[in-house]
Amino acid sequence: MKQGFVKVAAATPEIKVADCEFNRLEIEKEIEKALEKHVKLIVFPELVLTGYTCSDLFLQEKLLKEAKEQLILLAEFSKNKVILIFVGLPIEVCGKLYNVSAAICNGEILGMIPKTHIPNYSEFYEARHFTRGNEKPIVITVNEKEVLFGTNLLFECREMEGLVVAGEICEDVWAPNPPSIRHALAGATIIVNSSASDETTGKDIYRRSLINGQSARILCAYLYANAGEGESTTDLIFGGHNIISENGVALSESTRFQNETIVADIDINRLRSERRRMTTFESKEDESYVKVGFSLKQEETVLSRRFDNSPFVPKSKSDRERRCEEILSMQSLGLKKRLKHTGCKSAVVGISGGLDSTLALLVTVRAFDSLSISREKITAVTMPCFGTTDRTYQNAVELIRILGASFMEINIEEAVNLHFRDIGHDSSIHDVTYENGQARERTQILMDVANKVNGMVVGTGDMSELALGWATYNGDHMSMYGVNSSVPKTLVRHLVEYYADSCKDEKLKSVLYDILDTPVSPELLPPENGKIAQKTEDIVGPYELHDFYLYYLLRFGYEPSKIYRVAKLAFKGIYEDEVILKWLRVFYRRFFSQQFKRSCLPDGPKVGSVAVSPRGDLRMPSDACARIWLEDLDSLS
C-alpha cells in the first residue's frame, strides 16, 4: 500500500443456485486465496450468495432469510482479516426487495449498495422482483446492528490517502448515466461492480470496451466481477468475464467460461495525479454521500504489475509501425503548416550523420513532398569540424544525395579556431568552450544560410536532450521550427528504422541502418583512431533510462523513490539497482538545472502525451529547487 499501490481482486466462485451456505463457503475459499496473495480488496458477482438465476425463488421468504444469515456468517468469517469484501445478495427493506452489494471488513457489514438501474428488457426481467435503489443512504438493521443502505456510500481507507471505494451493480454501468460518474466526482478512486452479465456472441468485446471506457472517463480503477459457471443454464450462459481496469487500460482479464479470480495492482496515486492534472474533472463534496471508514494494514505491496521499460515505444510491431507512421505524419504536417504560413519555399537542415538530424531531414522531405515543392529547395548542410568521423560524414553526404536535397558542405574548423583566438581560448583545452563554440558556429551558419535562401532552419534536437539540457544554449538548442522537440530519443530510433523498412529504396535503407548502428554522439571532441571518442550515453547516462524517468515524472507525477522502485522492476536483469539510482540522480539534477533552456524553446509539434514545451505541457520556473526530490533519493541510500 506504500506509494499508492494496492492489490485488488475480482472473483467468480463456483456456486449452486439457491444454496446460500455452499456459496458462502466457496466465497470464503476465494477470500483465503486472495489473502495469501496480500489482496486488500475483493469483489464478487451480483447476487452471488443466492445465484443470479433464482428467478421467482427471490420471492421466497426462506431464500431471503438464508441469504441474510449467510451474509452474517461471512461477516464473522472476515473478522481479523485485512481485506475489504463486496458480495451480492437480495435483501428486503421496508417491504421491498433490493439487489445489493454488501461491503464487509473485519467482522462488520459496513454498508449495502442497492442497484439503481433495474433491467426489464430482452432476457432480463429484474423489475419482476427488485426495486430501484435509493441514492441518499438510510439506516437499516442487520443482525441487530445498524447498517447504511444506499448508493451514495464512499468507503474510505484510514491508512491510505486516496483509497476511496464506491460501487454499482451490473446494468448500472450499461445505463446512459451510471452512478459511478457521480461516485467518482464525489471522490471515489475505485469503483466495484458486482455483475451478472450473460454471454452472447461478441458481447465480451463490447463489455471490455465499456469497462475500459468508463474507467478512462472517470479516471478511476474499475473492478468488474461477473457471474460464471454454476448459474442456471435454463436460458442463459454466464462466462465469468472479470475485468480490472485502470484509467482505460485493462490490467487483468479472466478467460471466459472458466471461473477465475484475477488480481492486479492499482496505482491510486497515479489516478489522483491524473485528476489533479485534468481541470475538467470537477470533483466536489456532495452532501448526499456518507463516508464510511475502514482499516487495512499498512504494508508495502509486492508488485506483480508490469512496467514497460520503453513506455514511449509500443511493444507489438503492428502498433509500433502505426505509431511511427502517425508521428511522422504529425511532424511533417506541423512543418507544412509553418512553411505555408510564412510563405517559405525552402528549408535549411544541419546534417551530422546522426539520428536526430536524419529524422529532421526525413520529416522535411515529407513536408516538401506534401506541398509539391522540389526537394532541391531543402538545403542540407554538413559542417565537419574537430570531432567529425569519416563514417558520420559519409553517411550524411550519402543521405542528402539519395533524398535529393541540395548539398552544402562548410568546414568550420578555420572559423572556430579564429573565434577561439578572438576570445583567447587555447584550442588544446577541450572544455565546454571548445565544444559549444563548434555548436554555436554551426547554428550561426544555418541561420545565415536560411536568410540567404529565404528559408527556415528546421531544428533537430529531440525531447530527451531537452529534458537533460543536453544541447548548447543558442547552439543546436535554437532553430526556427523544431520538428523533433517532443519525440523522445528511444522513439527517434524506431521512427528512422520504420522509415528505412518502408521506404522501398535499398540504398536509402542501407544508409539509414548504418546511421542507426552509429553511437549517439555530438562529435565535438577529436576522434580516437578514426572512431567516435565522445559517446553521449557514457556522459549523461542511457537514454532508455532517462526516457523512462521522464515519462513517469511528467505523465503521472511520480515521486523519485517511486520511479526508482518501478524502474528496478522494469529494468531487472538489464541494469543493476545502483546504476539505476546513479542515473536517476543525474536526471533530476539536470532536469531542474537546465529548465532555462526549455523556457525559450522554438515552436514544435506535440506528438505524444509527454512534452516539454514552455507554452504547453511544462510550465516550470527556470530557478526551481530540486532539493526535496534529491533528498527523496538520498533516503534510499
Q: Residues with catalytic annotation?
A: 46, 115, 170
The cell for 150 is 444506499
Residues 75 and 109: beta-carbon distance below 8 Å: yes
CB atoms inside a 10 Å sphere around CB 528: 10
Which strands make up the sheet holding 108-114, listed edge to edge?
138-142, 145-149, 108-114, 96-105, 84-93, 41-43, 5-11, 261-267
Q: How far apart are CA 536 and CA 356, in angstroms?
A: 13
Contact 612, 599 (CB under 8 A): no
Residue 447: its H or E element:
helix 432-452
SS3 category, 254: coil
38 Ramachandran zone, left/alpha/beta (phi>0; psi -120 to 50)? left
Residue 366: phi, psi to the nearest 5?
A: -60, -45
Q: Closest Cα to residue 82, out of 30, 45, 38, 119?
A: 38
Q: 290-294 and 243-246 as β-strands: parallel, antiparallel, unpaired?
A: unpaired
The secondary element (H helix, E strand) that includes residue 545 is helix 543-556
- Please report, for the chain, how many H helices and E strands are present, in that order: 20, 20
Residues ≥6 apart with Cβ < 8 Å to 623: 595
Encoded amino acid at 95, one letter: G
∠ CA(24), CA(30), CA(34), 5° rounding? Answer: 140
Q: Using CB atoms within 10 A of its CB, is residue 201 exposed (0-12), middle (13-18) or buried (19+)? A: exposed
Concatenating the DSSP letter of every residue in 265-315 gives EEEHHHHHHHHHH-TT------TT-EEEEE--------------S-TTS-S
The 10 Å CB-count burial string (b at 16+, else e) for 551-576 is bbbbbbebbbbbbbbbbeebbeeebe
Bridge partners for 406 per DSSP: 379
Calculated CA dihedral for residues 204, 209, 214, 217, nearest 10 degrees: 180
Listed in sequence order, the DSSP H helices in 7-119 are 20-36, 61-77
Write down the H helix ranges in 53-131. 61-77
**Number of other residues whose CB lies within 10 A of the CB of residue 624:** 12
From residue 453, give the alpha-carbon distance in Å to each of 332, 363, 406, 449: 21, 19, 11, 6
Distance CA 34, CA 36 (A): 5
- The answer to whether the CB of 9 falls within 8 A of the CB of 43 is yes
* DSSP single-letter state for residue 132: P
Cell 532517462 belongs to residue: 546
